[in-house]
Amino acid sequence: MHILFICTGNTCRSPMAEALLNHTSHINTASSAGMFVPYSSGASPHSITTMSSYGIDISGHRSRQVTDAMIKEADLILTMTEGHKKSLLTIFPHAAEKTKTLPEYAGLAGDIEDPFGGDEALYSSCAESILKCIKEAKL
């Protein structure tokens, strides 16, 4: 199964989710994109550092805007927040059947909060929340 993770700018949460799933799953593959990506950039420095603590290198990541082709390619679309989900389905209503928030898919409440602008501890906490959801969802 191919899973597409969606966040705002595709520099923090969704690249970490993509990396964590690809690192831990032998069944599923992941990619990521953002809802609002004005230009391509690398993963945030704290995302890179946080993922390196898991033995994962995301230094080559480049952010990208979600497209209809990505939506069609994905078997499952997992957003970081309910707001992302609503925005995505406004633009791509045909994706409704395969779109959930990551916590919702894992049977958990709430959103994966954005660590952008925070310190390394906040990014680490975010990564732990993502990993918890991945494990709970048995992805």
Tell whether the torsion through CA atoms of 47, 49, 50 and 51 is positive or negative: positive
Q: Does 62 participate in catalysis according to the annotation?
A: no
Q: Which is the catalytic residue, given 12, 13, 126, 133?
A: 13
Q: Tell me if residue 7 is catalytic.
A: yes
Rounded CA gap, 54 and 1, in Å? 23
Q: How far apart are CA 61 and CA 59, in angstroms?
A: 6
> Of 64, 75, 114, 119, which residue is the catalytic one?
114
Which candidate in 7, 12, 126, 133 is catalytic? 7
Active site residue 119: no
Count of C-beta atoms within a 10 Å radius of residue 108: 15
The residues annotated as belonging to the active site are: 7, 13, 114
